[in-house]
Amino acid sequence: MRLILDSTAEGIFGIDQQGLCTFCNISCLTLLGYEREQELLGRNIHALIHHSTADGKKIDVQDCPIHKTLVTGIGVEMEHDVFWRKDGTCFDVLCYAYPQIKDSLVVGAVVTFTNNTERKANLAKIEYLSFHDQLTGLYNRAYFDEALVAFDTKKALPISIIVGDVNGLKLTNDIFGHTAGDKLLTDVAKVLSASCRSSDIVSRIGGDEFVVLLPNTGSETAQEIINRIQQRMDSMGVLAGRMSIALGWATKMLKEESIRDLYDAAE
């Protein structure tokens, strides 16, 4: 049995009803930064490796999912927690706790865990790419479509939409090449981001089409933002003055009005 435990890549440890460590494998020691099993045996595992969140907020033992397994006899999965190493650093874990039952009583638990840092980073990257335009870093069409529905509420009224089409993109691509065309698009994206507020949702939804969703924004403020965009466009002089954008906008004042019709009107 010991050979099997020490041959796994997952960290594995056991705890008794009091939460004290009863055994651990080599991977457990390695992941937690310990050298000898005796450093963990008999110690309260929660207090040792699961006492706080990543930002230092204390986790009461009663709120610990592993402890709840001891209380309820029901296994748990943890994927949003961290474990703390011997050196005081922490890492994201994917963890499972399995109750150990004898004569209908919970006598302890076996916990398996892996370092989940890389997996979480990869998932975050996938999520980012699914909602962002790779060239400009702005939100993409998928995110804009979701935001359009999410902000179609009375609470977000008035809501405005600005739609912009970059002028001369095809000509720029044909004459100067696609690298110059990409530069044109990224410069436009920078102008839009700099001209809008942090609460505004700036997206690139097509080849040369950009859109800005403005929750809680009336027509007067929307016009002010358009003016800022146009002023920045005029002052940048990108690609020898060939950067310009055709802008349209519309404002929804009533809940009964269609948000899709608003978008069509802005186009």
Tokens representing residue 93 in the block: 């874990």
**Beta strands, E only, 103-200:** 105-115, 159-167
Q: Which CATH superfamily hosts domain 132-266?
A: Reverse transcriptase/Diguanylate cyclase domain (3.30.70.270)
pLDDT value of position 237: 60
Domain boundaries, the chain: 2-121, 132-266
pLDDT value for 240: 44
Q: What is the pLDDT along the chain (267 residues), one digit of tens a residue?
A: 777 788 899 999 999 999 999 999 999 999 999 999 999 999 999 999 999 999 999 999 999 999 999 999 999 999 999 999 999 999 999 999 999 999 999 999 999 999 999 999 999 999 999 999 999 999 999 999 999 999 999 999 999 999 999 988 888 888 889 999 999 999 999 999 999 999 999 999 999 999 999 999 999 999 999 999 999 988 876 444 456 889 999 999 999 999 988 888 888
In CATH, the number for domain 2-121 is 3.30.450.20
20 neighbors 45 (Cβ within 8 angstroms): yes
Contact 101, 107 (CB under 8 A): yes
Q: Kindly tell me the sign of the dihedral angle through the C-alpha atoms of 18, 21, 22, 25.
A: positive
- Residue 12: the pLDDT is 98
Residue 267's pLDDT is 83
Phi, psi torsion values for 64, nearest 5 degrees: -75, 125
pLDDT at residue 7 in the model = 83
State the pLDDT at residue 242.
Answer: 58
Provide long-range contacts, Cβ within 8 A and 24+ apart, for 95-103.
Answer: 95/66, 97/65, 97/66, 97/69, 98/69, 99/69, 99/70, 99/72, 99/73, 99/74, 99/75, 100/14, 101/73
